Amino acid sequence: MNKIYAQALLLSSLLPAAAVHAAVPTYDYKVVRSYPHDPQAFTQGLLYRDGFLYESTGLNGKSSIRKVDLASGKVLQSQSIPPQYFGEGLTASGDTLVGITWQSQTGFVFDLKTFEVKSQFAYPGEGWGLANNGKELILSDGSATLRFLDPKTFLEVRRVKVTADGIAVDQLNELEVVEGEIFANIWHTNTIARIDQNTGKITGWIDFGKLYPDAGKGANADNVMNGIAYDAAKKRLFVTGKLWPKIYEVKIIPRK
């Protein structure tokens, strides 16, 4: 069975079960506001820091990190990643930005102000999403496992298996820590999982199926939802996708 198809079947089976049994509740959303987004940006990582968005983009030869003005969508600063690397997740750590790559087992540490590469580090396996919980970096690799890394040494300190009603859920992609929970895009779906970072249990699904009707369609079916950023000071949640023309500020609401 095709892995993507299998994942779609898993989600389709879990979401109705959550609605019926309330074991894993499903949430809806309300769009508060939308903002322009570069439709050529193959978004891999997104974060909010000090009034600006920081974004990483993927594809070999097109990967970059960017500082973006939220209101206008204008790219204020950018740094290309060497063409042999396929850029993936991005997070902030102290006065640096930390980015990972897909299959090169290589991460980069960038100066937050200048985007100069300060150092590189290695990790086993693939790199998909990256987030920071204030004590550890959290890395997804496409599997059902989240790895927690020491932010100074980048060595793994622990890991959790992500499950919904005891069933492992893989294809975990871009990550963000929101009020102590991990929010994770499920690749090739319009669903975000809310994950307890201590147990790995999914505490809720957020259904964004109607947010961007063109997601996963057209000549480039990879234009799927991917990108979560959180403004902790103002409690604002932002979401977008690869090659999407907008970033959406959303409010999560219980499904009625």
Residue located via tokens 């996963």: 216
H or E segment and range at residue 181: strand 181-186
Tell me the HSE value of 254 on the side-chain side, using a 13 A CA sphere. Answer: 4
Q: List the structure tokens of 104.
A: 């090169």
d(CA 132, CA 235): 17
Q: What is the mean pLDDT of each run of 10 residues along the chain (256 residues)?
A: 43 42 84 97 96 96 96 96 95 97 96 96 96 97 97 96 96 97 96 97 96 82 93 97 96 93
pLDDT at residue 56, rounded to an integer? 97
User: In which order are the strands placed within the sheet that holds 64-68?
Assistant: 43-49, 52-57, 64-68, 75-80
Instruction: State the pTM of this model.
Output: 0.89
Residue located via tokens 């859920």: 169
Give Cβ neighbours of residue 186 (< 8 Å, ≥ 6 apart).
7, 11, 169, 171, 172, 173, 192, 193
Instruction: List, in sequence order, every residue forming a beta bridge with 34; answer none if it has no partner.
Output: 248
167: left (phi over 0), alpha (psi -120 to 50) or beta: beta
pLDDT at residue 6, rounded to an integer? 44
Q: Quick one: DSSP state of residue 102?
A: S
d(CA 205, CA 30): 15
Instruction: List, in sequence order, every residue forming a beta bridge with 175; answer none if it has no partner.
Output: 184
pLDDT at residue 11, rounded to an integer? 52
